[in-house]
Structure formats: C-alpha cells, structure tokens
Structure 1
Amino acid sequence: MKSAQAQPFGHQWRSSKSFVIVTVTLALFAETFLYGFLVPILPHMLEVRLGIDPSETQSYITTLLTIHGFLSIISAPIIGHFADKTPHRKIPLMMGLGACLVGTMLVALTPNLFMLFLGRYLQAIGGSATWVVGYAMLLDCTDTKNMGKNIGLSMTFIAAGVISGPAVSGVLLGLVGYRATWSVPMIILALDMLARLLMIDSRELPSKDPNETPSNKTTESNETTALFQNENENEASKQLADTEPSTPTASSPLAFYRIMLTDARILVALLDTIMFSSITAGFNNTLPLHLRDVFGWGSMETSLMFFCFQAPSLIFSTLNGMMRDRCGVRYPAAIGWALLAPLLWLLGVPGDKRFPWAGSDVGGKNIFIGTMIALGTVSMFLRGGGSFQFSTVVKNMQAQNSQVFGPYGGNSRVFAIIEMCFSAGMMVGPMFTGPMTENAGYYCMTSTLAILCLVLSGLTLKYFEDTQPKKKSSSLV
C-alpha cells in the first residue's frame, strides 16, 4: 500500500513507452515547425518590419541561420553530458522548452535586429535540448530490432514539422497578416508544454520494491550482463576486446568521445548527418531569394517548394524505417547519395543562361518543381540514416557492457554528438551556399553539392554496415 501511494497520479499511462514516444515526437515536431516557420517570412521581417535594404537581406538570413547552428554546436555536448548524469531528464527538457518559448516571443515581436538575434539564440539552445534529450529518451524506449520503425515514425513527425512550418507561415502571412500568423506556433508550443508536464520519465518513478536500491539494480544489471556475455562468449569476444580497455573510464567526457570518434562507422555516419543537414539548410538559405529572382515567386510559392521537398518523407518515413530494421541502412543510403547528385545538378539548371531550354518562361518552372519532388523522394532514404547507424553501433556496445557509458547510459551524449553534427551542417550550409550563390551563381553551388554527394556515396558504401548485427532481445539495455 505504501508503495502504491507513492506513485504519482496516472503514472502507468504517463510513464508508458507509448506516451513518452508521443511526447518526444510532438516536441521534435514543434522544434522543426518553428525552425521552418521563420524561413519564408524572414525577408518580410527584415525588409518590411525592420527596414533592412533588400540588397542586404541574403547576408542577414545567412547570419541568422549560421548562428543558430553555431549555438547548437556549443550547447549540445553540455546538455548531453548533464542529461546523462541526472536521474531526472525532464528538467533539461522543460528548461529547453522555456528557452524556446521566450525566444519565439522575442522573434515574433522583435522591434529591432538585436532582439531578433537574441530570440534566435534562445531558440537554438532550446531546440538543442529538445533534440538531445528527446532523442535519448526515444532510444531508451526502443529495442534494436524496432529502432528503424520508431525512428522512422519520429521522422514522419519531423517531416510534418518541416513541411507545415514554412507552408503555414507563407500562406497565413498573405491571408491574415503578420501578427495573426504567429498565433499558430504559440498554440503548438502550448500543447508541447502540456505533454512535457504530463510525461513521467522512467527514471523518476519510485521503485515498486521498497527494499530495492540503486546499487541493487546495478548489481542485478551487472549479473545479467555477465550471464549474457558468458552465453555468447565466442560471438562477442572480438567486440569485448575492442571496448574493454576503455570501460573503466568510458563514463568520463573525454573517454566517451574518444571511443565514439575512433570508430570509422560512426565517423562516416556523422559525415552523412553533416552533409544532409548542410543541403537542407542551404535550401532554407537560398531558395526564397533564388525563386524570387528567377521566377518572381513570393512566400506562398516558396512554401509549396518546401512542401514538395519534404512531402515524400511525411508519407514514407515509417515504411523506410521498417526497411532499415530488415536490411540496414548501407545500400539505401549509398544509392540515395548517388541519385542525389544528378538531381542537385538539375536543380541549378532552370533560370541559368547556359541552358536556354530551361528558362523561366520556357520549361524552367516545371523542371524545378519536378526536381524538388524527386529530391524529396530520394532524400527519404538518407534522412536519419546517420543517426540510425550511430545508434545501432552504440546499442551494441551497451549490450555487451551496460556500464560502459556510466549507470545512466550514454544516449544523451550520443544524440549530443548527432545534434552537434546536424547543427554543424546548419551552420556550414548557409555559410557555403549563401556566398557561393551570390558570387558564382546558383548553378555552380548545386553542382558542387552534387560532386560532394558522389564522394559520400562511396564512403557510405564502404563503411556502413550491410545489416544490423543480430542480437538476442535479452541483451538490450
């Protein structure tokens, strides 16, 4: 009776894996929605509300998007380190939401450039906390054999946020005006806050056995791990040999990152993440002005182009994740990068004077729209591929030794690294695409990205795993 009274109200459904997954996916949806929401209306904010000269608009957009990525790189490892050390991960999750809420209000009501940049700073830090802690909790709720399906499901909501953000802001700005447009993200943040307050992290629940202590749990976990290792000694001996020397100090920050960043599979996975993020951020940075200059399109048409790019992931991400559970990510990702190269080249053709058959008044618009849809379809096989590869490797390490990354595991730090790489892409993408588009043209920019995709296709084919290593379910932690 005493133990039952200690349980919080509704603890069964509030702490269930299903509700945690729903809360995390809603948080990720809100974060991506907010990031994409700003993109189509940034020219309006800078030129109409703040009076910036149109010739300087591209530079300010590049700076805003670059700073967002830079701050995420700085904050992610700090958030990941403390999230893995604390038994209450909901605290950094709520702090991140608070920063995001304040930052969004500053951006929406900004009277000057200083407040606009400050709001983006807070949004970047809050978004970083959401990605790092949220994805770590999602990984905790997922076993290896269902990881692709659950990550694919989260990718569906992420794609929904990426699609609906710019689509909603671009359409509403023309229909109801600037201030009313910002009511939508405020409603989404309110729902996000409610879900995060209701959610109970499994670490927060009191033990059902009053005699059970953390040390008892650790001892039991170690005994179970030892039994599993004995049963699979021949199969796992090689992996244990690789991880055993680092085990005593693996929970320290430097040792953890040393283990991660000396594995070729992880390094290529992170490179995949950086490249995909760079391409996406490059689109956010250059598409609005490029489409305005070449086709005379406004915020609504730009929003529709983002929709064409993201819609296939919204429809097929879960199926793609299930495919990864069966055959891994190596061949789909390698083929995806190879196919992305000619499509990126073709994206730069419409409106370029060297290709009169693709002019803005001939067939350029149809070519551009068709290429964006094809890019979105191929990108479906790349989205989250690096995260999937990284997570699989780390899951297998923890299966061999549950204490290798400390008593609370290393999932938060894993996604801190992923967030750092994704944010690096968000920073590098605008820094590369903005100046290159201005100085060399949009065609040269997309052609350069195409060449890099071919290189990455070869690296992915060489270093990614063909299929997931087959482990018994009892080995999961």
Structure 2
Amino acid sequence: MGIQSAPSRSPIAFVVPTMSPALRPTTARPPVENQPPPPPVGLRWRSSTWFIVSTVGMGIFTDMVLYCLIVPVLPFMLQDRIHLPDDQIQSQVSNLLAVYAAASVISSPITGLLADKWGTRQLPFLLGLSALLIATFLLALGQTVLALVVARALQGLSAAVVWVVGLALLVETVGSDRMGAVIGSIYSLMTVGGLISPVLGGILYRKTGYTGVFGVSIAIVIMDLIMRLLVIERKVALQHEQQSVSKLQYGHDRPSPETAPFPSNDTNENTPLLGQRRPAGDPRYRLSSKHTSKKSFLARHVPILVLLPHPRMLTSLLVGFIQALLFGTFDSTLPVAAKETYGFNSLRAGLLFLALGTFDLFIGPLAGWAADRFSPRAVAVVGYAWLAPVLTLFRLLAVPSNDAGVDTSREIALFCLLLSLCGIGIAIVNAPSLVEAGLIVDAYHRANPELFGERGPYAQLYGLNGMIWNLGLAVGPLVAGALKTWLGFGNMLAVMAALCAGTAVLAFVFMGRKGDDEVFEEAGDA
C-alpha cells in the first residue's frame, strides 16, 4: 500500500510550475525579424495564367496601336509642326518607318541576351514600356525631325522588348506545348490593334488634333503600365508558396534539403511551371562535349547560337521571315496598286486592309491550336501551300480600262476576295515559326541544362526570331517595290507565290512531325 501512496511524488509535482523560464521546455520559434514577408495581395490571380497572358497581350496590343495610330498623322506633323517642304515629306515618312524597323532588328537579339541573364522578366518588361512612354511624349511635343527619329527608335526598342520578354514570360507560364494557341490569340489581338488604330488616329486628328491622338496614346500606355506592375512571375509566386508551406510544416521558412517537401503533382492554371520538376532530357538531344565544355566564347555567352545550324531551327526562322516579308509586301504595294489600278483614294485603299486582316481574328487562334494539337509542320505546310495559288490568281485579274464610266465593281470584288483568301493564309502561318523553334529549344534545354542554365535561352530565342521577323518586315517593302516597278503588281505577287511554295516544301522536309525526336547533327564539324 505504501508503494501506491502519492506523497513521495507531490514535491516533484510542485517543482515543475516553479522552474526557471530559461529551463522550461519551449517550441522553437524564429525571431520576429526572420519571419518571411507576407505574400503580396492577390498573389493567386496576379500570377495566374490568364492574367499573365492578358498582360503580355495588352503589351503587344499597345505597341501595335501606338505604332499604327501615329502613322496617318506623321505627314501632317512634318508639314504643320516641323514645316518641311512638300517634296521632303514622303522621304521623311519612309525614313521614320525604317528607323522603327532598324531599331527593332538591332535591339531584339540584345534584349534576348540581357533578359536571359537578368533574374526577372518584369524589370525589362517595365523598362520597355518606359521607352514607349518617352517616345510618346517626344512624338507629342517634338519640334524637330531628330526628335521624331529618336521617338521612333524608342518605339522600335519597346516593340523588341515586348515581343522578346513577353514571349519568354509566356513560355515559362504556359509551357512550349501550349504556345501555339496563345501565340495565335496574341496575333489576333495584334491584328485588331493594327486594323482599328489607323482609322482611330485619323478620326482623332480630324476632330481633336494632336491632343486627342496623344491623349489616347498616353491613356493606353498607363493602362498597360498598371497591368505590368501587377504581374507576379511564376517563380516569385512559387517562392511565396514554398515559404507558406514550410512555415506551416516546419515552423520556419527555409527547410533543409533533407526535409523539404517535393512539389505536388496536382497542377492547375496557378501552379508555377518553374516549380515543377522538368522531365529528364532525351539522350538523343545531348550535345557533344565541345558544346557542354563551354570553351567557345559564343557558346558561353550566346548559347542559342549552338542550335542555329539545326535544320529545324533554320527552317522555323525562314517560315517567320517569309511571313514578315508578305506583311511588308502588302503594306508597301497594296495602297499604290489600288490607286493606280482602280483609282482608290487613301481611305478606300486603307479599307482594303480590313479584307486582308479580318480573318486573322478567327483563323489565328484556330491555327495556333492546330500547331499544338498536330504539329507546327502541318500548319506551316497548309498555310504556305494555300498562299501559293491564291497569290498567283492576282495575275488573272483584268486591268480596268482608263475610260470614264467603265464599271470596275466586279474586278474590285474579286480583288477583295483574293485579299481575304490571302488573309486566311497569313493567319494560318502566324504561329508555326515560334512554336517550332520553342519545341527545339525546350528539347535541348532539358537534355543540356548545364549549358543553357536553369531558365533556358528562351529570351535569346525570341530575340533571334524577332530580329529575323523585323528584317523580313524591312526587306519586304524594298523587294516588293522593286519587283512591282519591274514586273507589275500581279507578276510581283507571282514571285511571292513561288517563295511560298518553296517555303511549304522546306517546311514539309525539315520541320518536325508530331512527337518527332530529331537528333541534332552539328553542321560543319570539320
């Protein structure tokens, strides 16, 4: 009975409450100053796929609207504000358009190189918009040709940043296998901006003068700025999510590698792409030691050049170049041909671009989806094979007589119909170039992470693609103008048809099929 008595335990029971606080067992709690910062307000929707895609789309829309909004106003600015002689206005307008293209060509690869080296996409995205805002103020207030030249150069720089950084941000958000549908939708949004802004610019200038034109421009830039400031990159969102999980499970924000949780396999549109484990690279995409050793200066600093000899890469760049060449061809020759052939004024000639671009609103997203679902190769072949006969048919249009009273409505209707059919083909070939190049880079990035780094050379890729595309946009008017003068409008388009047919053949031969794993064989190993 004595063994069961409690008095022998009672002193111990009274000691525990009177223990020194220093000796009392406590749970480990980090100091207040080491607590992780609270997550940003609206973290989920600000890092969501729909918001990031919308922001990039808004940036490209803004760039296109401000580019086209100013174009119909430039001749009046040069005449009324800067007081240039009439015989110099056309040449100066052409020079200002060329400055924009040249600035984009030069800055695209540089932007891609710097964007891959920086730790953030948002910073260069904001810097590009800053350049656009400065350009808008220069156009609104500039009193010299030099001020307008600087403004157009800044617009070209901003366009390069939007395309390069924006597309790199998109591929990190949605993945290479979904870029086709996204790019198709982005191009459609760009088409909307390109179609409505010249008309809007002309109306605003006529009704309100420069105040309305540049007031609307600045308002659009401010809306774009707000969206870019709100965007949270996926990798930043991932850091906040990991800190929240770690704090709940371990009581601190930095678990050790041994106890850190593996990423969940449950993904949705808000799951950060960069937070998932990348699939192991296909060994057939493994580059030789001469590349992975990084002994080449260019391979160390511009690793995208290692893939440039790849036949699929070269073909994808060619597909984009020919598409831009067609854009430049119609931009430079369509108004003049309509005036010479049918006596159109500037308004009626401008309305022809509605026939050329309207189908892009519907066909672009569908063609992008098809590039994801089937293959960029199939879409490129169909698009360029479609364009070849349609462009050739322009040669069959009868040239109206110059006699007064001759009814040309039938020829004009056929002309608009052919333009619409061309618009379908151009919309189809919007996405294949970027999607194909992205798939190639993604495959080699997974197989060679030590060469391309954690984020991969995606900004470099889109910088290279942007340079080639803008080069086609600049070369197109020069080549088309010379051919039109030499051969005529119909025969010039027949030459373009031959280029499209050749591009379709090259795309069929060299671009990858669905699920195709081509092995890279470096050109010029000798």
- TM-score when scaled to structure 2? 0.77
CA distance in 1, matches of 2:212, 2:52: 32
What's 2:15 paired with? none
Flag structure 1 segments of 5+ consecutive residues without an equivalent: 471-477
- Give the greater-gyration-radius structure (CA): 2
Instruction: Give the superposition deviation at 1:336.
Output: 1.6
State which of 285, 291, 303 in structure 2 corresponds to 1:246.
291
Q: Deviations over 1:221-262 (max 9, x none)?
A: 99956xx54xx8xxx33222x466523439945551332211
Mean CA deviation greater in 148-157 or 92-101: 148-157
- Aligned residue number for residue 188 of structure 1: 220
The aligned amino acid for 2:430 is R
Say whether 1:81 aligns with 2:113: yes
Distance apart, 1:299 and its partner CA: 4.2
- Tell me how far 1:138 sits from its aligned partner: 0.4
Tell me the residue number matched to 2:27.
none
How much does 1:420 deviate?
Answer: 0.7
Distance 1:315 1:3, change over 3 A: farther
1:42 shift after superposition: 4.2
Letter matched to residue 94 of structure 1 = L
CA pair 441-196 structure 1, distance change in 2 beyond 3 A: same
In structure 2, the partner of 1:336 is 383
User: Does 1:380 pair with 2:423?
Assistant: no
Aligned match of 1:475: none
TM-aligned CA distance change 1:254 to 1:444, over 3 Å? farther
CA distance in structure 2 between the aligned counterparts of 1:335 and 1:72, rounded to whole angstroms:
29
Q: Is 1:34–1:185's contact at 8 Å kept on the other side of the alignment?
A: yes
Query: For residues 66-98 of structure 1, what are the alpha-carbon distances to aligned partners after superposition, in whole Å with 9 as ceiling and x for unaligned?
Result: 322222121112111111111122111111111
CA contact (8 A) 2:375 2:513 kept: yes
Percent of matched pairs sharing the same residue: 26
Q: Deviations over 1:19-46 (max 9, x none)?
A: 2111111111111222233344444445
Pick one of 285, 308, 313 that aligns with 2:332: 285
* Corresponding residue for residue 317 of structure 2: 270
User: SS state of the match for residue 380, structure 1?
Assistant: helix
Alignment deviations for residues 85-134 of structure 1 (CA, whole Å, 9 cap, x no partner): 11122111111111112212323444342222221111001111111101
Partner of 1:459: 506
How many angstroms does 1:54 deviate by? 5.9
- Distance in 1, matches of 2:504 and 2:155, equals 33
Letter in 2 for 1:64: L
Change (3 A) 1:24 1:222: closer
Offset of 1:360 from its aligned partner? 8.2
Q: CA deviation at 1:444?
A: 4.0
Deviation at 1:468, TM superposition (A): 4.2
1:150 corresponds to: 182
Structural mapping, 1:87-236, within 5 Å? 87-174=119-206, 176-205=208-237, 206-207=239-240, 208-209=242-243, 210-211=253-254, 228-229=279-280, 236=282
Cα deviation, residue 173, structure 1: 4.3
Question: Residue 237 of structure 1 corresponds to which residue in structure 2?
Answer: 283
Contiguous gaps of at least 5 residues in structure 2: 1-31, 244-252, 264-273, 518-526
Output one character per residue of 1:385-442: Cα deviation in whole Å (capped at 9) or x when no partner: 2111101111222233444411332111111111111111122122323444456543
Q: Runs of 4+ in structure 1 displaced over 6 angstroms?
A: 219-223, 353-356
Residues 328 and 466, structure 1, Cα contact 8 Å, conserved in 2: yes
Q: Which residue of 2 aligns with 1:24?
A: 56
1:366-405 aligned at under 5 Å gives the runs 366-405=413-452
Q: Deviations over 1:306-365 (max 9, x none)?
A: 222222111232222222222112133123212213333444776857999xx9845332
SS in 2 for 1:141: helix
CA gap 1:6/1:379 in 2 versus in 1, 3 angstroms: same
Q: 1:312 to 1:175 in 2, by over 3 A?
A: farther
| 1:34 equivalent in alignment to 2:28 | no
2:40 corresponds to: 8
**Aligned partners of 1:64, 1:380: CA distance in 2, in Å?**
27
Residue identity matched to 1:415: Y
Provide the aligned length of Structure 1 versus Structure 2. 458
CA distance in 1, matches of 2:86, 2:71: 16
Going by fraction, where is helix more abundant, 1 or 2? 1
Counterpart amino acid of 1:90? Q
Larger deviation, residues 61-70 vs 15-24: 61-70
Paired residues of 1:352 and 1:443 also in contact (CA < 8 A): no
Change (3 A) 1:385 1:121: same
Equivalent pair of 2:99/2:153 in contact (CA under 8 Å):
yes
Q: Larger deviation: 12-21 or 121-130?
A: 12-21
Aligned to 2:96: 64
Q: Distance in 1 between matches of 2:74 and 2:173?
A: 37
SS at match of 1:20: helix
State which drifts further: 304-313 or 5-14.
5-14
Which amino acid in structure 2 is aligned with residue 311 of structure 1?
T
CA pair 175-89 structure 1, distance change in 2 beyond 3 A: same
Moved more, 112-121 or 347-356: 347-356
| Matched-pair contact (CA < 8 Å) for 2:235–2:275 | no
Tell me how far apart the structure 1 counterparts of residues 50 and 411 of structure 2 sit (CA, whole Å): 46
CA distance in 2, matches of 1:39, 1:351: 32
Residues in 1 aligned to 2:407 and 2:71: alpha-carbon distance in whole angstroms: 23
8 Å CA contact 2:111, 2:164 repeated in 1: yes
Change in CA separation of 1:306 and 1:19 when aligned onto 2, cut-off 3 Å: same
- CA distance in 2 between counterparts of 1:303 and 1:91 reads 37
1:171-191 CA-partner distances (Å, limit 9, x unpaired)? 444555454234333222111
Q: Which has the higher contact order (CA 8 A, sep 6+)?
A: 1
Contact 2:304 2:457 in 1 (8 A): no
Alpha-carbon deviation of 1:141?
0.6
Matched letter for residue 341 of structure 1: A
Deviations 1:245-299 (A, max 9, x none): 5234399455513322111101011011111112112322333444344444344
Q: CA separation in 2, counterparts of 1:286 and 1:361?
A: 20
User: Do residues 448 (structure 1) and 520 (structure 2) align?
Assistant: no
Q: Indicate the SS of the match to 2:358.
A: helix
